Amino acid sequence: MPRSSLDPIDRQILAELQADGRMTNVELARRVGISAPPCLRRVRALEEAGYIENYHARVNARALGFEVQVYAMVSLGRQAESDLVAFEARCRDWPLVRECHMLNGETDFILRCVATDLGSFQSFLTGELTAAENVASVRTSLVIRDAKTVPGIPFEVLEARLALDA
């Protein structure tokens, strides 16, 4: 489904599910103003087209004892595609690394890491991350508090842009 083929109901379905992926199909259909069977068909089509990648619960890390969140800026010694792919694969194997993004500029990757305490993060940092093959340097920043965490995309911006294009 190319972006241009998404009608307002499809976009509203995506916005509603992004805000609350647990709602029933009946509730979703009510919110977007259609009956349940076509709503379910639309959701399935959006899933098959790749607009909906998965459903998950956002877990409170601190409530589960993960008190430390750190961003690690990683520079590699070599940036050949095989080196980049190898580092990405290594990141997928590290449980404390929750996100890994390749960047443009002097930093090659930024990692979002979580740990139960500073000692466990320090162990990961010195024993695994900085010791990993081809890692030239790592700079870290400890998160003090979260001011805003909003997953997904801003549908209101999409709708405003589409209204201007119409």
Class of 62-142 in CATH: alpha beta
Provide CATH 1.10.10.10 ranges for the chain. Answer: 3-57
Fold of 3-57: Arc Repressor Mutant, subunit A (1.10.10)
Q: Mapping DSSP to helix (H, G, I), strand (E, B) and coil, where does residue 131 land?
A: coil
pLDDT digits (tens, 9 = 90+) for 123-139: 999 999 999 999 999 99
User: How far is CA 70 from each of CA 97, 106, 165, rounded to the nearest angstrom?
Assistant: 9, 19, 40
**Mean pLDDT of the region 46-72:** 95
Torsion angle defined by CA atoms of residues 151, 141, 114 and 119, in that order, rounded to the nearest 10 degrees? -170
Instruction: Report which residue type is found at 22.
Output: R
- Give the range among 68-72, 139-143, 155-159 with minimum mean pLDDT: 155-159
At residue 2, the pLDDT reads 47
Provide CATH 3.30.70.920 ranges for the chain. Answer: 62-142
Of the pLDDT bands very low, low, confident and very high (cuts 50, 70, 90), residue 4 is low
**Mean pLDDT of the region 94-106:** 97
**Mean pLDDT of the region 56-84:** 96
**Mean pLDDT of the region 87-98:** 98
Q: Mapping DSSP to helix (H, G, I), strand (E, B) and coil, where does residue 129 land?
A: helix
